[in-house]
Amino acid sequence: MTLWQGRLPDTVPAVRLFCDSFELDRRLYAADIRGSIAYARALGRAGVLTRGEVDAIVRALERIAVEFRSGAFVAAPGDEDVHTAVERRLGELVGSELAGKLHTGRSRNDQVATDLRLWLLSEIPAIRDGLLSLGEALVAVAEEHLGLIMPGYTHLRRAQPILFSHWLMSHFWRFSRDLARLEGFTVRAAVMPLGSGALAGNPFGVDREALAAELGFEGAAENSLDAVSDRDFVAEFLFIASLTGVHLSGLAEDLVLFSSPEFGFLELDERFCTGSSLMPHKANPDPLELARGRAGTLIGALCGFLSVLKGLPTGYNRDLQEDKGALFTAVDSLALMLPLFAGIVRTVRVRPERMAAALDEEMLATELADYLVEKGVPFREAHRAVGGLVRRARELGVSLGELPQEAYREAHPAFDDGVHGVRDFARAVARRRSRGGTAPERVRGQIELAKRTLRERRGDG
């Protein structure tokens, strides 16, 4: 029996197969029941239901929630989605007459939109916690190893020496921005559609401000027609998830590279690696690779859903049902990946000797140019002179330090004996002490700021 059996014949099986969504959306049961309980109370306050009716409905809905939670809930053939399933079960428990009153003035359109927001808002604390945990892991490792120098890269080529902690903190700030986006989003998303009916609003005098407050929303949507079809919150969450996924993919890429035998700066804890079915020696960073791939899937989910929304005419259209698959993928992925990365970061083994071995002298070329600048040579001229020195050393197959002093003088007359003092990695790091630079005191400052921020956010949670 469908909701509209008075008007329409039964749909053909192919329609049900394609359109039904109970297996997908059953996880919304708690949100659906919470919304229905609040709506029953609102109908009670509006005089549509008696106090006794409200109590009976609420008790039955709470029982249904228990049935879902415990796995005891049994789906019926006609349960096309979780909302129908709950409504059907409610009819069994309180009689179809009373159950039939709960839908007074409410439409699937405002109900579904409300449920999905409630569900998402209930998932956000875990994602926020995941971001905080990953941030804490990065900061903890950065603090532990403060002072350790590694090669800094641009274009995946050794560029300048930096602190290992500076690298870790470069990832921290990315996730910190994700957190800020998530927090701004959470406020924007907490707008209640319930009480919008199918499109035109509620004619039974339901007090939507009170309803919103009871459900923990910041407020009620201002326009019923907009409210039932507004999926901005899905699109925006998908974006935040995609960008967080992109940031995880970047961290994954670095960890895969730096823990390869060729780089060797890090070793992943083997409990986060998997082996090969064929090659007995392998220890592969599968979770990192899968996360890198998942970032692609999240981008696809975002882009696909924006494409779903594009060009839709006014009012609710069933195209919007595609929101759930995309949103569930995004929430589940973040919920799994963030704690996993926190674990990987916390257990990584650092290999300072490999970092030191990778600090080749060419990475001090900028120091040589800066040396000339301090002697009054324009930077571009200094750059050119040192570029020539590097080329010469390469041609001779020697390091910059092995070039004779006369090679320096030929490269630029301003090179004097003092030049050898600049070939010092610690000095190069320490010189970059403007805000944001890799000098140890600056990196310590970053860490302190990060810890303060994390503490405050933990306090707010």
291 touching its own copies, by CB under 8 A: yes
Q: Which positions from 214 through 243 interact with its own copies, judged by CB under 8 A?
A: 220-228, 230, 232, 235-236, 239, 242-243
What's the token pair of residue 241? Answer: 């998830």
Q: Decide if residue 167 touches its own copies (CB under 8 A).
A: yes
Q: Name the active-site residue from 70, 155, 277, 434.
A: 155
Q: Has 103 been annotated as catalytic?
A: no
Contacts of 456 (CB under 8 A, 6+ apart): none
Selected from 23, 286, 402, 448, the binder of its own copies by CB under 8 A is 286
We find the least distance from the C-beta atom of residue 122 to its own copies, in angstroms, to be 20
Give whole-number Cα distances, 395 to 381, 390, 400, in Å.
21, 9, 11
Query: Which member of 97, 395, 441, 460 binds its own copies (CB under 8 A)?
Result: 97
Q: 275: which 2 tokens?
A: 């082996």
- Would you call 205 helix, strand, or coil by DSSP? coil
Interface residue with its own copies among 55, 129, 143, 207 (CB under 8 A) is: 207
d(CA 109, CA 315): 10
Question: What is the footprint of its own copies within residues 117-146 (CB under 8 A)?
Answer: none
- Cβ pair 335, 252 in contact under 8 A: no
Residues contacting residue 146 through CB under 8 Å, at least 6 positions apart: 163, 165, 440, 443, 444, 447
Q: Among all chains, which residue has been given the structure tokens 């995309």?
A: 326
Interaction between residue 2 and its own copies (CB under 8 A): yes
In the Cβ-directed half-sphere of 382, how many Cα atoms lie within 13 Å? 18
**Residue 401 touching its own copies (CB under 8 A):** no
Q: Does 158 bind its own copies (CB under 8 A)?
A: yes
Q: Whose Cβ is closer to its own copies: residue 124's or residue 382's?
A: 382
Query: Which of positions 341-400 make contact with its own copies (CB under 8 A)?
Result: 343, 358, 360, 362-363, 365-366, 368-370, 373, 378-391
| Per CB under 8 A, 5 contacts its own copies | yes
Among 31, 48, 54, 331, binds its own copies (CB under 8 A): 48
Q: Which is nearer to its own copies, 66 or 455 (CB)?
A: 455
**70 is a contact residue toward its own copies (CB under 8 A):** no
- Percent of the chain that is helix, strand, coil (3-state, to 5): 70, 5, 25
CB burial of 370-390 (b: ≥16 within 10 Å; e: otherwise) equals bbbbeeebeeeebbebbeebb
Residue 283 tokens, joined: 């220890």
Is 170 assigned a catalytic role?
no
Question: Residues with catalytic annotation?
Answer: 155, 276
